[in-house]
A = this chain, B = another copy of it.
Amino acid sequence: MPHDLETLAARLQMLEDREAIREIIARYGPLADRGDAPALAALWEEDGTYEVTGFATARGRAEIAALIDAPYHRELMAGGCAHVLGPVAVTLSANSATAVGHSLVFRHHEGTFSVLRVSANRWTLRRDPHDGQWRVPHRANALLDGAEAARMLLSGPVGAP
């Protein structure tokens, strides 16, 4: 098959997009655990939403940052915690994408670590038409405690390979 520059550039763009999306999601955990609320909120779009089933729905960057600055999160950090994400299955479609995967929260207490939360996550991401950057309009997170709602987050546009 002969190759042309335009086709190669389009294939390259697709890989760069997937890489950018994976990078954003990889930044979430370290930002949460070092408590950098503004940088964490900046992963989202200005009016993006972070919906944590049964806990809170934060609308807009100020509310998302407030989750990280809240006493609950600061106490978790002070005792020792880790927000560890699993790999994400990414479905890319030109200027938007869906990423589906797990997240884990570990907590330290008196020399011992335990598993505090095990959740399903569905991220939607969008390329900003102005600066070309990928950001998060919406992330949904739900505890995998047997509730159908959490399993639903793992469904949808993630098709067979």
Contact = CB atoms under 8 A, between A and B. Distances in A.
A114 B115 contact: yes
A130 interface: no
Number of copies: 3
Contacts of A6: 3
A145 interface: yes
Interface in A106-149: 106, 108, 111, 113-120, 133-135, 143-147
Interface string A73-99: 000011111101111111000000000
Given A30-B89, A113-B115, A133-B161, A82 B144 contact: yes
A29 B121 CA distance: 12
B144 A108 contact: yes
A23 B99 CA distance: 11
Interface extent on A, as a size class?
35 or more
Mostly helix, strand, loop or mixed at chain A's interface? mixed
A160 B44 CA distance: 10
Interface of A: 3-6, 8-9, 11-12, 15-16, 18-20, 22-27, 29-31, 33-36, 39, 42-43, 77-82, 84-90, 100-102, 104, 106, 108, 111, 113-120, 133-135, 143-147, 150-152, 154-155, 158-161
A46 B62 CA distance: 47
Given A24-B161, A26-B101, A135-B161, 10 more contacts: A5-B8, A8-B9, A20-B161, A22-B87, A26-B87, A30-B158, A33-B120, A35-B151, A106-B115, A108-B145
